[in-house]
Amino acid sequence: MIMILQSLFTKKVLAGLGITSVVAVMGLCWAKLPLQSKVCVSPVQSALTTSLSITLKGHTAWIYAIAVSPDGDILASGSYDGTIQIWNLQTGKGKLLFTIAAHADAVKSLAISSDGTTLASASWDNQIKLWNLKTGKTIRTLSGHSDDVESVAFSPDGKTVISGSWDKTIALWNVKTGKVIRKLNQKEVVRTIAISPDGQVLASGTENGKITIWQLSTGKLKKTLTKHEKYVAAIAFSPDGKTFASVSQDRTIKLWSTQTGKLQQTLNGHDSAVLAVAFSTDGQTLATSGYDRTIRLWNVQTGRLSNTLTGHEKVVWAVVFRPKTKMLVSASADETVKIWQFPRVQDSRRQKAESIKSL
């Protein structure tokens, strides 16, 4: 029971839970859904709908993290049991290439360098590891955090790895040497980090609901944003870097101006904590997921809910759009990775034309 709860809430939260809370949580978290995959479409949506294309099965424990290579060909997935699996997506079927016995504890976050050669993994064993993505061999281990590492990211040039930890610090590492370049004192537990596409801005989300904005090159704190009421689970920048999105245990999704830090929109729709967020490659669609087992797609310009995807049987921990395709990838506590297919634009236009013609 403790293992299950640990994987759901993190080790630190478990320490404060009593038996009554455990029973209540278990009753909530293990409620069953029908074993089916379907797409629930809101009344207000675009013409594009989404369908489940592939389900990848290989992990035997909850899947916390996923990352896709810049060319869209390789998928990495990380699990509670400390393993990482590498998948080939080129065939369209998702072939498992190999499994890495990566960490002594849960793999909480994954990132792939911009050149597609290096995978970074962050774990509750307090370490970050760098891997050759092609061979699965260890390049080096980055040791320096004194507590669980929750989030990891590469700088756009691939020369720096950034990590956020329960030890209340953000560390910047030199990829080539494995040495710490700089440590930022967050003063709060760091739950997530994200880097702007130009590599200038670092955004971090904390346990107490704050978002801090840093100048990455200098380590200078620029802004602190305080609109979330509970912990910030994930942050993502839009492809143009002008906007970033944050999701929280408070069930909300918030869109912010990167330059000013001004709150632009608050999106509501999830029934419980929101855990993951990703922008589509064109920046027009936002994907979010969470404890309610759903993936929700939002129109970034209007803030309206476009689609609600169901099919995962348990918590959906991670979502990411596959580059150069019309695909979304999701990972869940149900031990599966799912790939969702968006129809091509021309197909959508053809369907629309045929519908008009039939009238």
CA distance 92 to 94: 6
The order of strands in the sheet holding 74-79 is 63-68, 74-79, 83-88, 95-101
- Which residues on adjacent β-strands are paired with residue 274? 290
3-state secondary structure 316-327: EEEEEEECCCCE
Q: Which of 312, 317, 338, 339 is nearest to 106 (CA)?
A: 317
Residue 171 pLDDT: 99
Residue 343 pLDDT: 62
Work out whether strand 138-143 and strand 127-132 pair parallel, antiparallel, or are unpaired: antiparallel
Residue 4 pLDDT: 39
What is the SS3 assignment for 129? strand
For residue 297 the two structure tokens come to 């797609």
Residue 49 pLDDT: 67
For residue 87 the two structure tokens come to 């998948």
CA distance 119 to 111: 6
Residue pair 124/105 in contact (Cβ under 8 Å)? The answer is yes
Residue type (1 letter), 152: V
CA distance 161 to 296: 30
Residue 85 pLDDT: 99
CA distance 196 to 241: 6
What is the SS3 assignment for 295? strand
Per-residue pLDDT of the chain (359 residues; tens, 9 = 90+): 334 344 444 554 433 333 222 322 323 333 323 333 333 333 333 445 678 889 999 999 999 999 999 999 999 999 999 999 999 999 878 999 999 999 999 999 999 999 999 999 999 999 999 999 999 999 999 999 999 999 999 999 999 999 999 999 999 999 999 999 999 999 999 999 999 999 999 999 999 999 999 999 999 999 999 999 999 999 999 999 999 999 999 999 999 999 999 999 999 999 999 999 999 999 999 999 999 999 999 999 999 999 999 999 999 999 999 998 889 999 999 999 999 997 643 333 443 333 333 33
CA distance 114 to 57: 27
CB atoms within 10 A of CB 328: 25
**pTM of the predicted protein model:** 0.85
Q: What is the per-residue pLDDT across 242-258, written as a single tens digit (0 to 9) for each?
A: 999 999 999 999 999 99
CATH numbers and ranges of domains, the chain: 1-31 (no CATH), 39-358 (2.130.10.10)
Work out whether strand 220-225 and strand 83-88 pair parallel, antiparallel, or are unpaired: unpaired
